[in-house]
Structure formats: C-alpha cells, structure tokens
Amino acid sequence: MKETGTNRSCQKGIGDKFQEETKYTPEKIGGHSLDWNRMPERYKNYDDSFLKVPLPDPEIRRTADIWDVVSRRRSLRRYASRRCMPLEQLAMLLWATQGITAESRQFQFRAAPSAGGLYPIETYLMARDVEGLEPGIYHFRPHRFDLEFLHKGDCSVSLANAALGQRIVADAQTCFIWTAVVERSKWKYRQRAYRYIYLDAGHIAQNLYLAATASGLGCCGIGAFFDDRVNVLLGVDGVEETVLYLASVGCL
C-alpha cells in the first residue's frame, strides 16, 4: 500500500522520541543522587593569555515602564550599520541577560532564571562596531563583569554565513551567541537537562529583547544556523559545550 503524506507526518522522529523519553513520571523520577564532588564549575574562565576587558558599571537605576517596553518589543532586522554602539549600552545588555543581581551564602543570583540555579548558558559576543572593543569574538564573565578577548578580527561576515546568510548578523553592531555547558545541568537532571537548557536560553534572550527595547536598540533572535560552523568560530567542541541560539543587536 502506498504511504500517504498523512502517514508520513505521523511517523515519530528524534524530536518525538526525545519528548517522550524525557517525560517525568512517578516511576522514573527517583533513584538518582547527586555527587557533590563532581559538580561542574559554574563559571568558565579562559587562561591569562587572553586579554580581559573590564566593562563599565551598569546603570541599573534607570527608570523604564516595563509595560511600555513589553508592548514595544519586536524582532527588528534593520540597523544603522555605520553607527557605533557605546560600550555602556553593551554592558547594560550583558547585565540584563546574565548579570549578577544579588548574593546569598556564596550563591550568586542572576538577572535571568535558571533551572536548579545551575546556569549552563555561556555568553559570547561577536563585536563588529562597539566603542572601545576591537572587532572580534569575546566571552562574557558574569562573576567578573568583564569580557575575555578570544579572537581578533571582524567575524561578522563569517558569522552571517554560518547563520544561513542572514544579513542582519553582518549589519549588527554586535551579535550575542549563547552556548550550553551541558554537564552543568546533566549532573543533576540527566537527560531532562536538555529541556531546561533550552528554557534557560529563552529566558536570557527575552531579557535581551526587553533591555534592547528599553535602550533604543534593535534585537532579533536567530535559531537558524549551521551549528558546527558557529562552534568552530567560538572554539568549542560542539559536544561538551555547544551553540544554542544567536541574537543580533544593532543601533536604530
């Protein structure tokens, strides 16, 4: 019998299997204890051979009507590509996405929530035209509130090509690149960790959208890219740490 289009669409693929096999049930949820001696480090640091760029203190006492910001939030794809983004604005965006907002008993809370407080998401930046930053690839350290300069040179076209040729990446003053250090979540949540990792990335990206809107900047999340091309650009292995999500940010 000839297979119909409807039958083909009902066949289960890897996404369906993932959803099914990571469901919590009373029968499957128990039997796992945490090995505190093997808890992964919460922060990633590169060695001292990489230049550290301190960021200006965020002006967190600015006033903005959150309801107005939410109503104006849009995915904006056209930027004034020849303008330069002030470093102070970039610092505010970084603080709003993953900045430390409070400390208690040696635990540091961040601006976006994370399942179990494990914070598996790392933030990298492609800086094309940001005041005070050489063009290149940077890694953000929330606990130091600085950037580690990983790769020198304008990577905007390379990253745009990796993002399926989307011109907004090349035109943006900067592009946020989020990766996951997978074991930080798997240590506690095993295979269900992947669900939480994706949720964490979404929380962070929405904070970026709102902060960009409040700052008069344009932002657009990007889920379409060649994963391993971006991984190579960042210098991560695509297994223990792998790219999840991009977002272009540009002047209007």
Closest CA to 69 of 229, 224, 210, 252: 210
| DSSP summary character for residue 191 | G
Reduce the DSSP state of residue 89 to 3 states and report it. helix
Distance CA(201)–CA(120), nearest Å, equals 9
In order of their start, the domains of the chain are 58-251 (3.40.109.10)
Taking only the tens of pLDDT, the chain with its 252 residues reads 444 454 555 688 999 999 999 999 988 887 788 999 999 999 999 999 999 999 999 987 777 899 999 999 999 999 998 999 999 999 999 999 999 999 998 899 999 999 999 999 999 999 999 999 999 999 999 999 999 999 999 999 999 999 999 999 999 999 999 999 999 999 999 999 999 999 999 999 999 999 999 999 999 999 999 999 999 999 999 999 999 999 999 999
Reduce the DSSP state of residue 72 to 3 states and report it. helix
Residue type, 83: R
Predicted TM-score of the model (pTM):
0.93
- Whose structure tokens read 């399942």? 115
CA angle 113, 243, 189 (to 5 degrees): 50
Distance CA(105)–CA(5), nearest Å, equals 57
